[in-house]
Amino acid sequence: MTSDDHNDGADLLLNLNFEPDWAKKAPSVNSCAGGDRDEERPRRPRRDRPPRDARDRDRRPPRRDHSGERRERLRDPQRAPRPPRVEPLNAEVHFLPEKNNIGAVVHLVRARKQAFPLFGLASIFLSDARHYLIKLTAPKGQSLEFHQCGVCQLVFLNKADLEQHVLAAHLDVHFAVEEQETEPPAGKFVCVGRCPKTGLLLGPPNYHGFNAALQELHAKHYAGMSLQDCRARIEMIHDQDVIEEWRNSCRRTTVYRPKSAPADAPGLTRDQAEALLREKHLNRMMHSRSRVIMPAALIAQLPDESLTARIRQAWNRETKRPFTLALALQPALKHMGLHVFRSKGSDHYVSAIKPSPIDPGHAVPLIRSILEFVESHPDSKLPAVLEALAPGGAADSGETAELIQSVTWLIEKGHVIEYFDGTFRLPGRGRPMDKGKQSIEKERQREDAGPGASPG
């Protein structure tokens, strides 16, 4: 592991605050949660409450009737109308751990010599958009394609929108952008166009650079609307001071110099640079595939609402139990030398120590007494073991030291599992240690099928 791996995972490790209650925590930082529509915002998962169904509704006591009040509030003209709900795109969404952060998790699990819940580790990745990726897959048999920017990985459903994005946002990949001094425009101008949102001055509508300035404004700030609508927003200012301000702003002009051209090659205008990029580079700066992976931090920038709605829907599901992230994390942790096994019912745990059951009957008396105590008192902690096997012993006595040494030895050999909360258990004997992917998939299918589905 490089030092960079540690740096990348530093933020993640701050979140590795394992409490017995880990699974009840809702992720606190996530770009998925940053939506602008309340009804789309991922909700805090309520693991402590069973899912509501029609029978629950019937059993619920009648509510006090505030409906009249509520209707009044809903009629309030001050309230902004809710935007129409967007139908989520039909696409598969999987969440993947960001690979630089896996090293940090492995480092922690190794250092602590304890067993951590796989789903708990997966939840931590999901708690911060910087720590996971989103895999989008077209459903089988459908012609859906995702168009992805090769520079920033942003995903579009419409290829023309992606082309506009590359031209507007990534000219600097192939061009050095320079500011140059030039003569201000000569002539008499009666008004200049100004963007009410950004305050940008576009120049007089009859000026030759007006359209190029409008197109640049449209690409950068109004990509979601038509060029015509963008133009309709421009206000015409007749104030001579503002016209002079625009004229002065023209003293500086931006030129685009191809990075592959000699240093003394003439600079290009934005239009010329875009045309050249389109002709020579555009196709290699983007791709169209039925499966793409993008950083989760880009969710807020996705231009297609149906895709955003689908990802939020999947994210809501994933925060309740991170199946897809656990599925992707498990092989990565195994590949890095950790062991994944099932314990405490059917939960998956991760440890640097391979569980290794032994028969207490074949052990020396002290070891046997520890194994028998842990077997008959599952989830007890070290103080309980000491109290039972060396009652009244002083903390610094030889007897206590020998007992602690034996417990430590049993843990390091995998004959006793110490969990992240300090509790002990014996590794299961004869229990399938790890059916891995299959068992996580089965659990997911059971959950999807609902509470009535039969186990197994």
Binding site for Zn ion (CB under 5 A): 149, 151-152, 154
Residue 410, φ and ψ in degrees, nearest 5: -60, -40
* Amino acid letter for position 415: H
Tokens of 204: 């007089």
Closer residue to Zn ion in complex, CB, 151/384: 151
Place of tokens 């880009």: 298
Counting every residue, how long is the chain?
A: 456
- Packed helices 323-335 and 436-449: angle between N→C axes, nearest 10 degrees: 170
Closer residue to Zn ion in complex, CB, 26/151: 151
Task: Quote the least distance from Cβ 293 to Zn ion, whole Å.
Answer: 15
Closer residue to Zn ion in complex, CB, 13/152: 152
133 CB-near residues (< 8 Å, 6+ apart): 95, 96, 97, 98, 293, 294, 295, 296
Task: Quote the least distance from Cβ 153 to Zn ion, whole Å.
Answer: 7
Task: Quote the least distance from Cβ 151 to Zn ion, whole Å.
Answer: 4
Task: Quote the least distance from Cβ 435 to Zn ion, whole Å.
Answer: 41
Closer residue to Zn ion in complex, CB, 31/406: 31
Residue spans of alpha helices (H) in 16-158: 54-59, 67-75, 99-112, 118-126
Alpha-carbon span 263 to 257, nearest angstrom = 8
Closer residue to Zn ion in complex, CB, 149/374: 149
Residue spans of alpha helices (H) in 19-78: 54-59, 67-75
Tokens of 379: 């989830």
Q: Which residues of 191-202 are buried (b: 16+ CB within 10 A; e: fewer)?
A: bbbbbeeeebbb
Closer residue to Zn ion in complex, CB, 152/223: 152
Task: Quote the least distance from Cβ 444 to Zn ion, whole Å.
Answer: 33
CB 437, CB 328: distance < 8 Å: no
Alpha-carbon span 226 to 74, nearest angstrom = 32
Task: Quote the least distance from Cβ 154 to Zn ion, whole Å.
Answer: 5
Task: Quote the least distance from Cβ 450 to Zn ion, whole Å.
Answer: 41
Q: How far is CA 360 from the centre of its chain?
A: 46
Closer residue to Zn ion in complex, CB, 152/404: 152
